Amino acid sequence: MAGLHPYPFERLRIRLAGSPTPDDPVDLTIGEPQHPTPAVITDAITANLGLLGKYPPTPGTPALRSAIAGWIKRRFGVEVDADRGVIPVSGSREALFGFAQAVIDPADPGVTLLPNPFYQIYEGAATLTGSEPVYVNADHQGKPDWSLVSDAIWARTKLLYVCSPGNPQGYCFTREGWREIFNLADRFGFVVAADEPYCELYNGEPPIGALTVAAELGFKNVVAFNSLSKRSSAPGLRSGFVAGHPDIIQPYLLYRTYHGAAPSLVTQVASAAAWSDDEHVAPNRQLYREKFAVSESLGFGPIPEGGFFLWHPVPDRYQGDDEKFAQDAWEATGVKVLPGSYLARESFGENPGRGRVRIALVADLATVERGLRHLNEFIDPS
């Protein structure tokens, strides 16, 4: 426990504790989707409340597993075994954490590789298994520099977390990028955890998925994680899935029978409805595109490949001090943004989040535009 770090939002709360609270604040820190949850989910919930009287099956209902497998086929062109290659989970965050406990042998915990910046769950998952987190710095577009990792570290690696589209930069791995990762995993014998909850929020072509490239290569040692939080604006549903080859999914299922984290049957029915319906996804994606268009018009470019974050540099006058910028912006404008250095660790001689702030475009268009205008005026008072 002593190896865990405070969550970024707690660090920011402490930093701003002495600042006056603005009259009309705009919080652009937390990546919590705020678009209306579609009726396909809410109607299924209200129609099935009677299922609260039953325990949920850990492997998930056949209907839900089939719906997830069907979506994977439509979205990524991959056939997965709906009975043995898919498990519903209580949000991808829970699964990303638990997966490390199932994969890493405490007698030989080795190294867990994380992109840097990163989603802090990866770090906590590695730390609490006894595995050593090693942070692989990414450029400001979000592409990790795997050449930083020596063969000695690769040889000790047990698990690699990778996110596409990335949080916070929105970088999408190409087919060649996935091939590079899988070739390394084949060579050194580690497992790849592909975190893909933003895969339906893209600003160009749909990003290629890990399972697509794994199927092309015949690579088995990868698990894809996904969620309805971003795709379907249902963060409170706490519903996602893991999918991959049965050889790696079934041992994880055994772990989960002890873990006791199966989604309720009400959630499973609503989730099956959501994964079976693609019509609500395009309008949701369009809402984010409209906010990115506004952000670009106000000088917050370029638009990322995916996700719903801006990864914006602080003004030169701050000399890279993203904490000070976030505090000054809050006090001057009432707009709250997240210091980029909170999302990364010092590694290979630098903190790659330093000098950047993450701005979440999750609120309605008017709120986002108001917040960005205030920030723009603060960044460039002229």
Q: What CATH number should be reported for the domain holding residue 219?
A: 3.40.640.10
The full DSSP string for 146-209 is: GGGS-HHHHHHEEEEEEESS-TTT-----HHHHHHHHHHHHHHT-EEEEE-TTTT-BSSSPPPP
Are residues 216 and 233 part of one domain?
A: yes
pLDDT digits (tens, 9 = 90+) for 142-197: 999 999 999 999 999 999 999 999 999 999 999 999 999 999 999 999 999 999 99
Are residues 54 and 153 part of one domain?
A: yes
Are residues 258 and 114 part of one domain?
A: yes
pLDDT digits (tens, 9 = 90+) for 110-129: 999 999 999 999 999 999 99
Comparing CA positions, the residue from 207, 205, 135, 129 lying closest to residue 166 is: 207
pLDDT higher than threshold 80 for residue 1: no
pLDDT higher than threshold 80 for residue 11: yes
Considering only the C-alpha atoms of the chain, give the largest distance between any 2 of them, rounded to a whole number of Å: 62
pLDDT digits (tens, 9 = 90+) for 61-87: 999 999 999 999 999 999 999 999 999
Bridge partners, 137 (sequence order): 116
Measured CA to CA in angstroms, residue 239 lies from 44, 72, 201, 260, 368 at distances of: 14, 16, 17, 14, 27
Q: What mean pLDDT do residues 29-57 have?
A: 97
Are residues 202 and 216 part of one domain?
A: yes
Are residues 189 and 147 part of one domain?
A: yes
pLDDT digits (tens, 9 = 90+) for 208-220: 999 999 999 999 9
Average pLDDT, rounded, for the chain: 97
pLDDT digits (tens, 9 = 90+) for 334-379: 999 999 999 999 999 999 999 999 999 999 999 999 999 999 999 9
Q: Which domain range does residue 337 map to?
A: 8-36+281-379
Q: What is the pLDDT of residue 21?
A: 86
Are residues 307 and 259 part of one domain?
A: no
Are residues 98 and 176 part of one domain?
A: yes
Q: How many domains does the chain have?
A: 2
User: Does the pTM of the predicted model rise above 0.85?
Assistant: yes
pLDDT tier for residue 264 given thresholds of 50, 70 and 90: very high
55 or 23: which leads in pLDDT: 55
Q: What is the pLDDT of residue 381?
A: 85
% of the chain surpassing 70 pLDDT: 100
Q: What mean pLDDT do residues 18-41 have?
A: 95
Are residues 225 and 287 part of one domain?
A: no
Are residues 293 and 216 part of one domain?
A: no
Are residues 124 and 17 part of one domain?
A: no
Helices within the chain (DSSP H only): 8-15, 39-47, 62-76, 92-103, 120-127, 151-156, 175-188, 210-217, 228-231, 246-259, 265-276, 281-297, 322-333, 365-379
pLDDT higher than threshold 90 for residue 4: no
For the chain, give the number of residues: 382
pLDDT higher than threshold 90 for residue 259: no
Are residues 153 and 139 part of one domain?
A: yes
